[in-house]
Amino acid sequence: MDSRTRTLAKAFSWQLLGLLTMTSIGYFYTGSVRSAGSLALVTAVVGVICYVLHERLWSHVNWGVRPIS
């Protein structure tokens, strides 16, 4: 199982990629860097929270985990 710090590092690096992608998509549709950045920032924050909760919940599920031999 990953440490909490590793889970957070993975979440933030993934969300940074998502933030850049969403800003680009938002700019394409709105033509506004401010609107695109705001939308991307909100989705990034929500995404980090959901990702961390998802990872932490799945760390308690043993289904599909093979023991180390």
Specify burial of residue 7 (Cβ count, 10 A radius: 0-12, 13-18, 19+): middle
Alpha helix positions (H), 1-69: 4-30, 33-58
Flag whether pLDDT at 24 surpasses 80.
Answer: yes
What are the distances in angstroms from CA 12 to CA 16, 17, 19, 63? 6, 9, 10, 26
Indicate the pTM of the whole model.
0.61
Read off the pLDDT band of 46 (50, 70, 90).
Answer: confident
